[in-house]
Structure 1
């Protein structure tokens, strides 16, 4: 029989054999209809499952239908049944001609029963690979993928988009929400460094540098072992290239142990796993290749966030360490540890950024006994997160310290050791909370008033007010700082500033009074004084249309259109709002049109609404 087992270097031989099989299959009744399915299945088997056409397992079939097909292959809706029928017919044909010795009797019935599951998997965008996601997005945006110039322009445009937009397209961020430890509502706030400082810290992180170096090393591609690992020689070379602490040899008594698999090089293997999880590389036919298109690393802060997210949610700190030892005592605790690590980080955050390890590891459950595997694994995970720049452990501990902690009661080993979040770590947990649908309050307390107002203006209303309250509570001279910032603020920022000043109340009065000498902000200050109960209504009354528009434009800006009818009657008395509105179209105030339109819509008094509409019409006719 011709060769039917193919390795990564047998591409030419495989495609020759594939052509022969498909050509012969086409001569059968089923093959005439499903030859296109057969060719795809054979190519997937060669490219992703080792290339042995003589052996087909239940796991092979499930991977092809529920993982590889959804991730790599685009089909027309309604083709699912044909693919399943063609797959089953191909396997029966391979058995009939002797390529497969004895087909597992579960395979064909299993394929034929999987229509619903296969259809759902093909429609689930979270299963799609990056190339398939890119082509689908191109199709959605009307790009002709056959036009190379148009396709390249589209890819360039994708690369220029925000990380969040690229993450939506490529499915890079699939973090599942967790119940918040703070009991719901916005996450308690904490100060974080400026964005420039965060980017600088992320750019200098050793693990991000390792990812860049690893991708450069992969180049056009590297061969992998039959089990999908890096080759031993490559693993050894990467220890030096990535500057890891992995040990090539280790002395154990009189015996010197040398690593047998690159998986034993924990930091090298973790770099490989992170690069794959972030979409920087992919494995095809036992070759490690750069992903096409690769996830960008041009934004260090976004890339660092994805790195830590992948480590926590996709790889798992303990799961990665013990994936070779599924039946090992420590391996059996990996899921427990990995589920607890995010809660440990949240505990440090809620303890104002610093907590003793005795408090941090409480999420593991009782761990006071001397020999505790989960505690040992949790400490290793925290130390790795320290390397990634999430936290700092003081005093630092090395492997000997870990063994000591592992073998001692926790109260004597960890009581004086603390974990403190870095600025990056604090930002990461706040960003994670937001992505999981929770607000964060107080993260802006370290910002100047002007930056506070700009940032708060972009937040949902409840988060914005929570930020203002937290910031005001952290500054003894908050009113004076806000008044100074409001002089150069935009409309949205001014509204937020006066809302914050109103929440401060009477103590803000001296600072607000300084605005009464500013013609542009005097109306805002007067409105604030009335709302704060510090001014008589007579202070805000006017007897001319320009004065009415100045006051009402401040009301519109600060409190919205629903407040205009009440303030119109208040400001215009005793002259009456209708009389002033009749001449308001002559006003030169820039917000006159907006005020009249809003008042016409929201005035409950029909006479007032009609006067506002008439004035608005005259104003538009004049212009």
Structure 2
């Protein structure tokens, strides 16, 4: 019944099906092949259950005389045609809506395989204990700027600068608030004109909330000895978790959604193109306001004024101050919000483990540069390669990728790993690429290295199969090479060959990969 209810909800929200009798065959086609793939995170194999629910709904419509017998026949005919097409639609990432794509990127693999989760439910339903949806999944570790840097940035936030100016203006003029501590209408009008601020009422409420000003009855006192970061923590709470009535972004509904929007950006830890922000707001069902809808660029500009977003018109991303403030807010709410360790001072295994945890590219790059900066090239190569001898392909791939940045000064350190069977092909490749003397790769070693690098690429390939298939079409191994890969003694060889069998666009190469995977499985069993 939950599935039937979800179908009815989506039909009402997106297809103007306001009464049960409004259902048509076209509505079912639009629901199951367009709306569902865009809105619902669900594995392709769940399609049969959804189509079955649609058939149950048709039976109900017929039994309650909402539709006639001929209409029921037409609906069932459409559902028969839809049934084999829906799994393909659910698996087609090009059909995903923006919200579904973003939440999938944040950790859709954490969902149970048989779970069917509405993206709108992630936004609208209260969190349930043990919920495993992306919106309720554990927060990722974040890299925070040094406290001294953050504290020095707080006074430069335009919103707080204007709030302080308003407080000084009120005190200098001997002006008093209302008995409820609010800014008087006449003072708000004068402040807007004299201080050239857009919303004095908002600034005053912020000043009171953060302690920049203290109010006792109609008497006001300037806040003293305030910790800048305490003021900023209170500012973030005020901006994203207070009823501001549209004063922050210019739209009431967007102000109400700011916590969810900031939470998404916190989890992504990456800039989002402004046009896609508009798509995201539409996907989560945010009500449009006015004839032109929500002015996303203007909302982003306002968030930059508040110190939440980095200034710019191309992308939306959180400022370092916003990251820190949101983490404080999460902590106050009892939500675990881990801080990412500074890996530049870690040992090699800790560095590799941290890089594999999925940190943002900018933070990873800073850590790698800092880590290499504290070591000679020879020491860096020895520590990195030594820590991944016998390790999984992913760890080995990270180490080899970092070592590839090193110059000829690391030659002797790299050469020492020619005796390691797993690292030998990589060491030979490193030496050869720098014009240094090196043994020739045997055919078996070349095959092993190909499998190893493809194993490293598997997580990204599963996340974006189209991009992987395109890359393989341009630079993938030839059919003759794939046919021989099954002979490689590599723990991931079966998975790699199965991936190639699913991904390669060349039919002969894909067929060769599937045959090789069969041989590799048989070899492993034998």
* TM-score bracket for this pair, using the shorter chain length: 0.3 to 0.5
TM-score by length of 2: 0.38
Higher helix share: 2
TM-score by length of 1: 0.33
Higher CA-based Rg? 1
